Amino acid sequence: MRNLLKAVVVALIFSSSCFAENNLLVYISLDEATKQIIEGTYNKVLGAQTEIIDGQEVHIIKVLTPDGRIRYYKIDAQTGQLVS
C-alpha cells in the first residue's frame, strides 16, 4: 500500500498536466485528480468532491481498495500534490 502511495505521489509530481508552458502551476480539475488516483491501480472510486480547507481548494477522493478498505486521498487543486 505504501508503494502505491509513493507511486501516486511521484506520478502527481511529474505529471505534465500540473504545469503550463511557462512553468506556472495550473488548476487540476476534480476529474483529472480522480484519474490520477485510480490510474494503474485496482481501486474503485466511491465518490469525489472539492472542498475549501484552510483557504485552499482540495479534491477529496474516496476509494475502495482491492482489500476492501475505504481510503480518502486529498489532492491540492493548485499543485496536484497529495495533501497530508
Model confidence pLDDT, tens digit, residues 66-78: 999 999 999 999 9
Tell me, rounded to whole angstroms, the distance of Cα 41 from its chain centroid.
Answer: 13
Residue 27 covered by a domain:
yes
For residue 20, pLDDT over 50 is answered with no
Structurally, the chain folds into a number of domains equal to: 1
Binned at pLDDT 50, 70 and 90, residue 84 comes out as confident
Please give the helix or strand (H or E) that residue 2 lies within, else none.
helix 2-14
Q: What is the pTM of this model?
A: 0.67
Residue 18 lies in a domain: yes
Domain that holds residue 69: 2-76
Q: Work out whether the CA dihedral 14, 18, 21, 25 comes out positive or negative.
A: negative
How many CB atoms within 10 Å of residue 9?
12
